[in-house]
Amino acid sequence: MRIIRNITSTGKNTMKTLSSDMEDAIYSNVKEHYPDSWYEPIITKSLLKELSDILNQRTIQIPGGTIRTASMLNILAEDPEHELGDFGILAKIRYHDGQLIEGAAIFESVKKDHEKNIFSNLKKDVTKRIRAISHHSMLLMYDYDCITGMAFPTSAEAIIGGQPHGWDTWAPYTHAAAVQSNIALELGVKHTGLYKTSQPFSYQLCYRYLFGLDLDFQKTAVDTVKGFKSDKGNPKFLFIISASHGGYEPDLNIEYDSTKYLEIK
């Protein structure tokens, strides 16, 4: 995906620019931490903080409209008795017609082993436990090599919303790919064969969550991510995203347990 930096943008505040900024952050974080600090909690904390900064107070021009975003990153104040995923995403979306939704997703992050094509830290029982709470839960896979061969549009027009001529064979790559827990469990593998059912994490953020797609709206999942329900555990980090379509201002006035989660400035 970083290759999109080399394609002339039609404007500064476009989805393409946002995607590129995110991919730059992913690339720099992965390369910075491999191999000396190749450890999921370290990578995840620094990456989410940078992605939150990128999304905060952003205006994005999309065909026929505008999205304004705000975001913040929180961390559990104390180590929980049970952790449920590495991070949760809480998204508040206001559409152009004024309708408002709040949804959540829980992620477990895994790193590729050094000089191997496996994710030895991927545990089926952990994935099942997270999926039981968040049906749209996902795995976030970090790779120091380029991730290609994803279940992802190969036409750049479909990715960045433009219609330039001659990009039909353009293929993206990334260093952090997301795959649905349901698919990962069904495939039953712990290696890079999971990539065929994945897509870039930046794409998941930009083209799915900012539109309210692929989120859980069940009370159990949302309350778990917010910290109000803890019997099964809570995610280590809480990544809050507000996206407003059609000229509305983003609103980070979102109810969550602020005694349990503290903002990372």
**Over the stretch 39-68, which tens digit does the pLDDT of each residue have?**
999 999 999 999 999 999 999 999 889 999
- In the predicted structure, residue 8 carries a pLDDT above the cut 70: no
**Over the stretch 155-192, which tens digit does the pLDDT of each residue have?**
544 444 444 444 344 457 899 999 999 999 999 999 99
In a domain, 1, yes or no: no
Tell me the residue range of the domain where 95 lies. Answer: 13-247
Q: What is the pLDDT of residue 79?
A: 83
- pTM for the whole structure: 0.90
In a domain, 264, yes or no: no
Q: Say how many domains are in the chain.
A: 1
d(CA 176, CA 111): 9
Query: In sequence order, which residues have a C-beta less than 8 Å from that of residue 140 and are 6 or more positions away?
Result: 44, 86, 107, 108, 109, 110, 176, 177, 178, 201
Percent of the chain at pLDDT exceeding 90:
80
Alpha helix segments (H runs only) across the chain: 15-33, 40-55, 124-133, 156-160, 181-187, 201-203, 219-226
Predicted confidence band at 80 (pLDDT cuts at 50, 70, 90)? confident
In a domain, 7, yes or no: no
In a domain, 104, yes or no: yes
d(CA 222, CA 234): 11
Tokens read off for 106 = 């829980």
Predicted confidence band at 84 (pLDDT cuts at 50, 70, 90)? very high
Q: What is the pLDDT of residue 152?
A: 76
Q: Are 204 and 177 in contact (CB under 8 A)?
A: no
Q: Which of 141, 140, 152, 137 is nearest to 215 (CA)?
A: 137
In a domain, 253, yes or no: no
- Helices 219-226 and 124-133: crossing angle, nearest 10°? 110
Q: Give the chain's mean pLDDT.
A: 90
In a domain, 199, yes or no: yes
- In the predicted structure, residue 11 carries a pLDDT above the cut 50: yes
Q: Are 75 and 4 in contact (CB under 8 A)?
A: no
In a domain, 257, yes or no: no
Percent of the chain at pLDDT exceeding 70:
89
Distance, C-alpha 171 to centroid of its chain: 20
Phi/psi zone of residue 47: left (φ > 0), alpha (ψ -120 to 50 degrees), beta? alpha
